Structure 1
Amino acid sequence: MKNSRLMVFAILVLAGILITQLNQITNLDKQLGQNKATLKQSKTSQKQSQTIVSSPQAQQDHVSDSTKLVTLFVKTFSNLPTSSYPDTLKGMASQKVINELTQTFAPSVTFSDKAHYEVPMVSIRNAWRSDLEYLVIVKSDAQSVAYTITYDTDKKQITDISRLTLKGAFDNEK
């Protein structure tokens, strides 16, 4: 009788351990999936880093070309009427950006036919990512406007734009 009680107790303990281990399998599967995704992302990031490090001149040329395109984009939208944006900016920017410029930014900034806007400053925030971020200052005789612009080097388009408020006086002297 004592042996059978001991045997039942041992079976119950082993059954408890087995159930606990079976419950752990789903958690381990989730962790494995997360770790595989992290590994894949790390390998992609490492590959991009190796490419950039192995060819810094190519990356510099790439950034230079992107900066020219961003400058051209800003000059284009600040010196043309909003009605021409869908046709003129197509291919330079995503449809989301064109819509934002047409509906949000343009009415809040006075782009008159008489004013001519120049782009005195185009500054890059991070030159080593696939999405380059720029700070752009646009100025005329009457006003100055600052934008942050995101340029996707893979799509070769501007994918995001936001207008910044300029604090303090901006020197408009030439």
Structure 2
Amino acid sequence: MKNSRLMILAILLLAGILITQLNQIRNLDKQLRQAKADLKQTKLSHKKSETIVSSPQSQQDNVSGSTKIVTSFVKTFSNQPTSSYPEILKGMASQKGINELTQTFAPSVTFSDKAHYDVPLVAIKNGWGSDLNYLVVVKSDVQSVAYAITYDIDEKKVTNMSRLTLKGAFDNEK
């Protein structure tokens, strides 16, 4: 009788351990899949970094071309009516960027039909990587406006914008 009770107790204990181990196998499997995905992403990121470091001329060409596109983008939207943004900016910016520009920034800046805006300053903050960060100043006879613009080299589009306040040399608003 004692032996059968001990045997039942041992079987229950082993069954509990077995169930716990099976449950941990599922959790470990999930962790393994996540680790493999992280490793794959890290390898891709490392490969991009390796490419940039091994071919600085290529990255310099990317930055030069991107700067021209960002300058053209800013000249286009600052000298066109807001209603035409979805058509004229379609290949230059992401849909999020166009919507943000149309709904947020354009109404806060007076883009008149008679005013002509120049782009006296396009400065790059970060020239390495697939996302380039620019500071762009747009200036007319009446006002100056500054934007922080993110350009994605892979997508070849402006992906993000924010308007900045100007103090100093470019601040000629009355």
Identity %: 75
* Pairwise CA RMSD: 2.1
Would the aligned equivalents of 2:133 and 2:149 in 1 still touch at CA under 8 Å? yes
Would the aligned equivalents of 2:52 and 2:129 in 1 still touch at CA under 8 Å? no
Aligned to 2:111: 111
Aligned to 1:58: 58
Alignment of 1:85 onto 2:112: no
Would the aligned equivalents of 1:79 and 1:117 in 2 still touch at CA under 8 Å? yes
Q: Please, which runs of 5 or more residues in structure 1 have no aligned partner? A: none
The secondary structure found in structure 2 opposite 1:34 is helix
Would the aligned equivalents of 1:75 and 1:119 in 2 still touch at CA under 8 Å? yes
- Moved >4 Å (runs of 4+): none
Distance in 2 of aligned mates of 1:154 and 1:138: 26
Distance in 2 of aligned mates of 1:86 and 1:15: 65
**1:8/1:170 Cα in 2 relative to 1: closer, same or farther (>3 Å)?**
same
Would the aligned equivalents of 2:150 and 2:161 in 1 still touch at CA under 8 Å? yes
Residue 70 of structure 2 aligns with an amino acid whose one-letter code is V
Aligned to 1:11: 11
Would the aligned equivalents of 1:148 and 1:164 in 2 still touch at CA under 8 Å? yes
**1:13/1:99 Cα in 2 relative to 1: closer, same or farther (>3 Å)?**
closer
Would the aligned equivalents of 1:147 and 1:161 in 2 still touch at CA under 8 Å? yes
The secondary structure found in structure 2 opposite 1:146 is strand
Distance in 1 of aligned mates of 2:145 and 2:81: 17
Distance in 2 of aligned mates of 1:49 and 1:171: 36
Aligned to 1:74: 74
Distance in 2 of aligned mates of 1:143 and 1:47: 44
